[in-house]
A and B are shown apart, each in its own frame.
Chain A
C-alpha cells in the first residue's frame, strides 16, 4: 500500500463482512500510482460531497465509436495518477467462459497499459478495464486484438450482446444461447462498433424463463428460452421426491402461480394449457420435471433503467420463435425494428420509450408483428383494437 494513503472515509467501507472495493484497490495501490490516486481522489469526493471526474467524449480507438469511456480528473495537479482515467470495455466471450490463460493474458496487457484494475463484469456484460491514459488506448487495443479480443459497445450503438451459460452446462436451456450470442455479435459488428442509432440498444439472451441475465428487466431486446409443448414428467423421480419427505404440496403445488398442478399420492399431473412456464416446479424438482421438447424463445422489447423516463420492463412481442442457425428470421426482425426506430426515434429515446410514444399498434404494423394477447399489459387496456381494418369493418371509430 502507498505509504501516504490517508483515506479514513473510504476505509469505513472496509468494515463489515462483505467484500470491499476499497480493500481491493488498496491491495494494488503500492505498485500503481493510478490506483493510489484513484483512492485519494475518491476520498476527496467523499469529503467534499462532489465528484471530480470530467467526461471525455472524444477518446477512443480509430474506426470505433464505442468501447472506450473517457474520463479525466478535474484535479490533475493534485491527483496526477488519474489525470486520464479512461475505461476500456472488452467484449466478453459468450456465457463468460474463460480459460485461466486467457484471463492472465488480459491482466498482463492491463498491467502494462493501464491501472491493472478491472470490473468483471459491467452491467452490459463486458470485461471492464478501469483506468488508462489516452496515449495507451491504441497500444491496448492492438495488444488485445493480437490475442483475439475485441472491444465491446458503448454510446448509441448495439451494446455487446450477452447470454447465460446455457447448454454449456445448464439442462434448462431451450436453445444454444452461446451460439446465438456469438452469431449476433459477428453479424452486427458495424452496429456494435459504429454508433448509428438514436441511443443504446441492448440484447440479452437467457436460455430459459429463469432468465439468469435478467434480460426482461435490463435489455431493449430480451431473448428468453421457452417451450411450446408440455413439461416433461418423470413419475418415478417424482415419487422419490415424495418418499424423501419433501413438502410437495406446500413447496410446489401451492406455489404454482396458475394452480395448474395436482398431486394424487405419488403421481403428479400438470394442466399444461394453463402453465405460464414460470419454471418454479421445474426448479424445485429438476429430476422429476423438465422443459418440453418443442423449444425456442420468446422475445420481449423495451426494458431499461430509469435514465430519461422511468424504468421499464420488457413486453412480449414474439411469444415463440425457433432459434436455429442461421437465425434468418431473428435477423430480419431485428433489422426491421432498428430501421423503424432509427427513422422515427428521437435522440436518447430507447426502444421501450419509442414504442410508448408511437403506440404499440403502429409499432406492430410498421415492424410487421402480429398483435397477440401477451401484449395487453393491463385489464381493459387493449392497445391494438384501433387497427384501421377494424374501423373499416365497423364503419366507425369507436373510442372503447
Chain B
C-alpha cells in the first residue's frame, strides 16, 4: 500500500477539523474524499482502518444527529451539567 493507514488517518483528521462546526461528515464522505485524492492507491478497507485509528485514539468521536457522523470530541450544546 502506497499510503499508510496513519497517513490516511491524519488526512481525514484534517478534513474533520476543517469541517467542524460547518458540516457533519459521515464515514462515506471521508471514503469519497480519500478515493478522490488517492484513487486506486487506497481501498475502502484502508479508509475504514484509518477511521478506526482516529476513533480508537480518541482524536475523533462518533456523533448521531439523524445519521452517524465523525466529529471532533467536544461538549455538545444539549449536554446538562
Contacts and interface: CB of A to CB of B under 8 A. Distances in A.
Interface of A: 54-60, 62-66, 70, 72-73, 76, 83-84, 134, 154-157, 190, 194-199, 339, 342, 347-348
Contact of A57 (B27, B28, B55, B65): B65
9 contacts: A55-B78, A58-B73, A60-B62, A72-B78, A156-B26, A156-B67, A190-B52, A194-B55, A195-B62
Contact of B67 (A60, A194, A348): A348
A63 B60 CA distance: 9
A347 B74 contact: no
Contacts of A339: 44
B67 A57 contact: no
Contact of B80 (A57, A84, A195): A84
Interface in B29-81: 31, 44, 48, 51-52, 55-56, 58, 61-68, 71, 73-74, 76, 78-81
What DSSP secondary structure best describes chain A's contact surface?
loop
Interface residues of B, number: 27
Highest count of chain B CB atoms <10 Å: which of A65, A73, A199: A65
A63 B51 contact: no
B78 A54 contact: yes
Contact of B28 (A62, A73, A196): A196
Highest count of chain B CB atoms <10 Å: which of A58, A64, A73, A154: A58
A76 B81 contact: yes
Given A62-B58, A155-B67, A348-B67, 5 more contacts: A56-B78, A65-B62, A155-B62, A195-B64, A347-B67
Nearest to B52: A194
Contacts of A196: 27-28, 48, 51
B81 A63 contact: no
B79 A190 contact: no
Interface string B3-32: 000000000000000000000001110010
B58 A76 contact: no
